[in-house]
Amino acid sequence: MVHETQSPQLYLDIAPDSQRVERGNEVVFLVTIENRGREAQAQSLEVSGLPADWFVLEFDTRRRVFPGERRTASLLINVPREADAAQISFGVTARAGADQSTVACSLEVIIPGQAQPERPVEAPPKPVTPPPGLTLSPKRVEWRGAAQGAETITLTVRNVSSNDAAYKLTLEGLPNGWYTIADQLSVQARQATDTPIVINPPAQGRRGNYTLHVTATLVGEDGVRGDARSTFVVAAPASPQTGQRTVSPVVVEEPPEEERTGPPAMPPEVRLGPRSTFRFGPGEVTAQATITIANNSALIERYLVFVRGIDEDWYQLDMPEVSLQPGASIPVPLRLTPRTGAQFPAGDYSFRVRVAPLKYPDSFAEVAGTLSIAGTVSFDARLKPAQTTGRKEKFKLTLVNTGGLPFSPWLEASDPQGMCKFKFDAPSNLEVGQEAVVPVWVGATRQGFAGNPRTYDFRLRVSQAGGGAATARSFDARFVHQPFLGSRMLYWCVMIAAIAAVVGMVFVIGFSSLDNAATAIRCGFDDDYQEPDTGEVLIEEECGGAPTTLQKGFFTLPIDSTATVPPEVTVTPRPGPTCLADLAIGLAVSDAVRLRADAIVRDAPAGNDTGRRGNNMPGTVTEGPRCAQDLVWWQIQTAAGTGWTAEQDQNKVLLILPP
């Protein structure tokens, strides 16, 4: 006698549990085994009570079975022709570690053509209506204030009976007024119907976790009911900080809560190959998987294939619906194309493949898989404008982290002539999907007051801090340095100054000539006219004649008009330095200056080289100018010491610059 046992971690079922067969023929029992534990199992099956040469049981004991996964096997019994008529009781036992389940079965062997004893006619049992299956999706909802608006949970009611049914719906666990749910729902036979549950808590609702308990009761039969549970969380209002990203986790639905009293149809066998974990490294964007579906029932079945747990853009299912003959199997291609981003960073993502008969969706089978995505650094960058003109201009560098890991930008700027100076502050870190604009200021090392425009081409290089050159990007741009006074403006300023000087000289000469003419006219009318002087000496002369007396104080000195006047003495001026006409900038003692990087410092004007160079060091003018070798020399005191430096070299390149 076989004793039936059922482990809570291992479900076993045989369909049918009793059959009649004529000797010389064969019958098939369908074995269903399910892992109801929380860990993967190594399962095995054995048959007791039947001769070993009567049956064949094909079952792969090497395969690991995931939690919630169902498997099927066919027990083929071939009764020999010489077997005696008998009622044989046998058992099928499933083992998974320490867990064990056993189901008792019977086989009646009859002789062909022999009259069978009549069995007493039993009154048909009263039909039992199976309870409905309920599912709430999603299993967990988080609400963060009125700004989020109302949340909707979908309730799916499955009528597994063969008759249409109406169910009364009730909800417990939430305060009245927080939710809206239909009072009654009608579902056709062997069909499923969805209805929304709208939840909109008040703004001052108490924070915490609320467990929703939804019950569907068959109208007219209070004992036939099904239920499902979900969690509704009232959390503090969200206040994300600037620069942070919010990642929405992938919601993996739990398997529906339903009565495990045996499926109305035989579940299919599902396998995922070539492996259950698919790894995506740098540069790998796709992987090919295969879903193998086997019809272990005795009927032609039509199956629906679903992929749950990952975004719809991450996979491509070529055959979402298949039809199989009894005992047939078919491979279904599944193309996996995960895409990381702000909502889906690098990491591991679990998914499940569910295959269910079209008419009996509760008789599904599932297989689990994992996507393991390695983090990659990727970014997009843009530099605008490509060219600009001015004394100091700003370029805008836009950075976007398009990879799956945080991006730490590193910026480098350079120009071939070494005449540009750059200023920028790169952000320390950019999260996945984050964007930042970096201002890049570009100026010139030469003086910016007067001069001709000069064009400088420079390059800006962007890369991952500490990374290689593979991810670096370079941008070429142009900066036209325009001093405050251009060559044309400087020319016109000089011209205007020269014209103003000429006009002033004309006015001075003109006033002197007019004064001499007025004196001559007055002498013509009056011979005793005296021309006063602003000094202490008063000269009395006759108009047109020689001076007669010179008065100073109380003395009068006679002057001999016949005396000989000595010749004029010609004074030759001392020649000054001729190189001072080549002064490029107006320097004076105590002025602050800066020495050019390659400027040579000497011990005297045109003297010996001291070995020091300017190195862009600031300094103060202490003496000068001096001329030597047709160059203008100034004594400059810097932190490195005091020395003489030419104002400009033979090519007119300034060696002493403004600070």
Q: Within a 10 A sphere around the Cβ of 361, how many other Cβ atoms?
A: 20
Report the CATH superfamily, name and number, of domain 10-110: Immunoglobulins (2.60.40.10)
Q: Cα 472 vs. chain centroid, distance in angstroms? A: 17
**162, 190 in Cβ contact below 8 A?**
yes
Q: What is the mean pLDDT of residues 619-641?
A: 90
Cα gap 593→621, rounded to integer Å: 7
Output 563 or 108, whichever has higher pLDDT.
108
Q: What is the pLDDT of residue 604?
A: 92
Sheet holding 329-336, edge to edge: 269-273, 287-294, 329-336, 315-317
Q: What is the pLDDT of residue 580?
A: 63
Residue 341, exposed/middle/buried by CB under 10 A (0-12, 13-18, 19+)? middle
Q: What is the pLDDT of residue 565?
A: 45
Cα gap 195→151, rounded to integer Å: 14
Q: Give the pLDDT band of residue 93 (cuts 50, 70, 90).
A: very high
Among residues 288, 402, 276, 283, which one has the least CA distance to residue 334? 288
Task: Report the SS3 class of residue 256.
Answer: coil
Q: What is the mean pLDDT of residues 384-407?
A: 85
Q: What is the pLDDT of residue 249?
A: 40
Task: Report the SS3 class of residue 248.
Answer: coil
One-letter amino acid at 132 equals P
Residue 185, exposed/middle/buried by CB under 10 A (0-12, 13-18, 19+)? buried
- Could you read off the pLDDT of 473-508 as tens digits, one per residue? 889 999 998 887 766 777 778 889 889 988 888 887
- What fold does the segment set 578-657 form as a domain? SH3 type barrels. (2.30.30)
Phi, psi of 75 (to 5 degrees): -100, 105
Q: Give the pLDDT band of residue 470 (cuts 50, 70, 90).
A: low
Q: What are 651's two structure tokens?
A: 């090519």
- Could you read off the pLDDT of 339-381 as tens digits, one per residue? 776 556 777 888 999 999 988 888 899 999 998 887 677 788 8
One-letter amino acid at 598 equals D
With a cut of 80, say whether residue 428 has pLDDT above it: no
With a cut of 80, say whether residue 307 has pLDDT above it: yes
Among residues 440, 614, 651, which one has the least CA distance to residue 634? 614
Q: What is the mean pLDDT of residues 4-25?
A: 85
With a cut of 90, say whether residue 450 has pLDDT above it: no
Q: What is the mean pLDDT of residues 208-230?
A: 86
CATH 2.60.40.10 residue window(s) in the chain = 10-110, 133-234, 269-373, 379-485
**28, 74 in Cβ contact below 8 A?**
yes
Q: What is the pLDDT of residue 355?
A: 93
Q: Cα 225 vs. chain centroid, distance in angstroms? A: 49
Phi, psi of 517 (to 5 degrees): -65, -40
Sheet holding 600-602, edge to edge: 609-613, 600-602, 641-646, 631-638, 618-628, 592-595, 656-657
Cα gap 492→499, rounded to integer Å: 10
Bond before 112 cis per omega within 30 degrees: no
Place of tokens 């992987």: 287
One-letter amino acid at 243 equals G
Cα gap 578→631, rounded to integer Å: 10
Q: What is the pLDDT of residue 344?
A: 65
Sort strands 140-143 and 225-234 into parallel, antiparallel or unpaired: parallel
**465, 379 in Cβ contact below 8 A?**
no
Length of the chain: 659
What does pTM read for this prediction?
0.31
Cα gap 507→639, rounded to integer Å: 51
With a cut of 80, say whether residue 423 has pLDDT above it: yes
What percentage of the chain reaches a pLDDT higher than 90?
20
**CATH for 269-373, options being 3.90.550.10, 2.60.40.1180, 2.60.40.10, 3.40.50.200:** 2.60.40.10
Q: Give the pLDDT band of residue 245 (cuts 50, 70, 90).
A: very low
Instruction: Provide the terminal-to-terminal Cα distance of the chain, rounded to the nearest Å.
Output: 108
**225, 216 in Cβ contact below 8 A?**
yes
Q: What is the pLDDT of residue 83?
A: 87
Q: Within a 10 A sphere around the Cβ of 370, how many other Cβ atoms?
A: 14
CATH number of 133-234: 2.60.40.10
Output 120 or 430, whichever has higher pLDDT.
430
Among residues 383, 465, 475, which one has the least CA distance to residue 429? 465
Residue 530 Cα distances to 392, 520, 521, angstroms: 68, 11, 13
Rg, Å, the chain Cα set: 53
Cα gap 239→432, rounded to integer Å: 19
Q: What are 570's two structure tokens?
A: 């010609």
- What fold does the segment set 379-485 form as a domain? Immunoglobulin-like (2.60.40)
Q: What is the pLDDT of residue 557?
A: 43
DSSP 402-468: -SSS-B-EEEEEE-TTS-EEEEE---S-B-TT-EEEEEEEEEESS--SBS--EEEEEEEEEEETT--
Q: What is the pLDDT of residue 569?
A: 43
CATH 2.30.30 residue window(s) in the chain = 578-657
- Could you read off the pLDDT of 274-292 as tens digits, one per residue? 888 998 876 677 889 999 9
> Across the strands, what pairs with 277?
370
3-state secondary structure 326-366: CCCEEEEEEEECCCCCCCCCCEEEEEEEEEEECCCCCCCEE
- Could you read off the pLDDT of 144-192 as tens digits, one per residue? 877 778 888 989 887 867 788 999 999 998 888 889 999 999 998 878 8
CA max distance for the chain: 190
Output 110 or 114, whichever has higher pLDDT.
110
Among residues 169, 186, 378, 185, which one has the least CA distance to residue 282? 378
Q: What is the pLDDT of residue 520?
A: 62
H-helix or E-strand spanning residue 497 = helix 487-525
Q: What is the mean pLDDT of residues 621-642?
A: 90
Average pLDDT, the chain: 79
Cα gap 234→251, rounded to integer Å: 18
Burial 607-628 (b: 16+ CB within 10 A, else e): eeeeebbbeebebebeebbbbb
Cα gap 125→17, rounded to integer Å: 18
With a cut of 50, say whether residue 314 has pLDDT above it: yes
Q: What is the pLDDT of residue 512?
A: 62
3-state secondary structure 44-100: EEEEECCCCCCEEECCCCCCEECCCCEEEEEEEEECCCCCCCEEEEEEEEEEECCEE
Instruction: Report the range of poorest mean pLDDT among 384-388, 438-442, 487-491.
Output: 487-491
Q: Cα 431 vs. chain centroid, distance in angstroms? A: 6
What percentage of the chain reaches a pLDDT higher than 70?
79
**107, 21 in Cβ contact below 8 A?**
yes
Q: What is the pLDDT of residue 622?
A: 94
